[in-house]
Amino acid sequence: MMGDALAIAVMQARGFNEEDFARSHPAGALGARLLNKVHHLMRRDDAIPQVTLTTSVMDAMLELSRTGLGLVAVCDDQSLVKGVFTDGDLRRWLVGGGALTTQVSEAMTQNGITLQAQSRAIDAKEILMKRKITAAPVVDENGKLTGAINLQDFYQAGII
């Protein structure tokens, strides 16, 4: 007990904080929580669910099913995320009498949550938890789609 207290006192005197500890022990739980960035965990390439603004609701639904992530990023021609189309959006659209041939831009959630690729993974997970959503598109500093991530990706990386 006295040894622990002494070690903590020395760490504080030297300005050694939990991020310093994480860098010293990157494979540990604290290292995973503090050092991992969203881009380390996100899904890439064909695993990114995405459609364009002019895609039909039917084709967006097929993309939802293909990836099983629960959302599809809706992007313009420059890959800028303009919205998301979720399982919930699909249900609301169909219950409201919406047609499957309509463009997804009419059924999507505009200005949905996106996560920055360079953000700390623990911070991104907290955003999802606070917003009560399970997945989000990942964008670069210019708003271009670079990936997608869901809560399961965080849990598999030990970020709980």
Q: What percent of the chain has pLDDT over 70?
A: 80
Homologous superfamily, domain 38-156: CBS-domain (3.10.580.10)
Q: Sorting pLDDT into bands at 50, 70 and 90, what band is 74?
A: very high
Q: Which helix (H) or strand (E) holds 41?
A: helix 38-41
Query: What's the pLDDT score for residue 32?
Result: 55
End-to-end CA distance of the chain: 28
Which residue ranges does the chain devote to CATH 3.10.580.10? Answer: 38-156
Q: Which helix (H) or strand (E) holds 75?
A: strand 71-75
Looking at the DSSP bridge assignments, the partners of residue 144 are 80
Q: How many CB atoms lie within 10 A of CB 42?
A: 22
Comparing 19-33, 74-88, 106-120, 126-140, the range with the smallest average pLDDT is 19-33
User: Has residue 6 got a pLDDT over 70?
Assistant: no
